[in-house]
Structure 1
């Protein structure tokens, strides 16, 4: 949420006016992403994320799971915290695999 003050607080006072492009206006990174933006943030494609959603079905055990997502009607939303957790789990899986292969070699 961006606060934009366009009116004076009291007539006659020189209240600061902030516009959306003003560096004094704080901007926050988005916390929720659509499929395309979430995939781009993770270095993947929207179609890959769609496939991960299908594979994450509980009736199909053994297939790789994608990040947690939420549906709002037909819209799919990924939260930043869920993307971070998923990426961290991928790094842990990679480290475990490399340590196993390193022990054998």
Structure 2
């Protein structure tokens, strides 16, 4: 009987810490998702309703639409890269510390 209780023993502070790590990851990922959706929807709405303004030629062969499209892709890639760096440096380290603290108990 004692064996069963010790194998399932999870202290409440560890559960709360794990929950806070999960909430932080979810909050950051939802924020990034919202930023990406707003960016894409904004571009689609610009293409839909402001075609003449987007057709403005900034340089020979380069219109405002091309510049905004490339900017949108760069923004998306930078958000994705930033999230991956954050996960590798902060989130994974928090999970590693939690796992190591559970192994020593």
Q: TM-score, normalised by structure 2?
A: 0.29
Using CA pairs below 8 Å that are at least 6 residues apart, which structure has the higher relative contact order?
A: 2
| Larger strand percent | 1
Q: TM-score, normalised by structure 1?
A: 0.29
Larger-gyration structure (1/2): 2
| Larger helix percent | 2
